[in-house]
Amino acid sequence: MAGSIPGSAQAGEATLAKALLGRPEALLGAAILLALILVAVFAPLIAPGDPLAIAGAPLIPPFTDPALPLGTDRLGRDLLAELIHGARTSISVGLSAALVAVVLGMSVGTAAGFAGGLTEAMLMRLVDAFQIVPGFLLALAFVSAAGPSLGIVVLAIALGAWTGPARLARARVLSLRETDFVAAARVMGMSPAEIAFRQILPLALPPVLAVASVIVAAAVLTEAALSFLGLGDPNAITWGAMIAEGRNQLRSASYLSIIPGIALVLTVISTYLLGEALTDILSGRRNR
Map out the domains of the chain as residue ranges.
25-39+78-287
Q: What percent of the chain has pLDDT over 90?
A: 53
Question: What kind of architecture, by CATH, is found in domain 25-39+78-287?
Answer: Orthogonal Bundle (1.10)
In this predicted model, what pLDDT tens digit does every residue of 64-89 receive, in sequence order?
999 999 999 999 999 999 999 999 99
83: closest CA among 280, 283, 241? Answer: 241
CA distance 63 to 261: 18
CA distance 170 to 105: 9
What is the per-residue pLDDT for 267? Answer: 93
In this predicted model, what pLDDT tens digit does every residue of 113-166 receive, in sequence order?
888 889 999 999 999 999 998 999 999 999 999 988 899 999 999 999 999 999
4: confidence class by pLDDT, cuts 50, 70, 90? very low
10: confidence class by pLDDT, cuts 50, 70, 90? low
How far are the Cα atoms of 29, 69, 223, 275 from residue 280, in angstroms, in the given order?
15, 40, 27, 9
CA distance 171 to 151: 30
Q: What is the DSSP string of 136-196?
A: HHHHHHHHHHH---HHHHHHHHHHTTTHHHHHHHHHHHHHHTTSHHHHHHHHTT--HHHII
- Which amino acid, residue 169? A
Per DSSP, 61 falls in state: P
CA distance 98 to 87: 16
Residue 186 CA neighbour count, 13 Å, CB half: 10
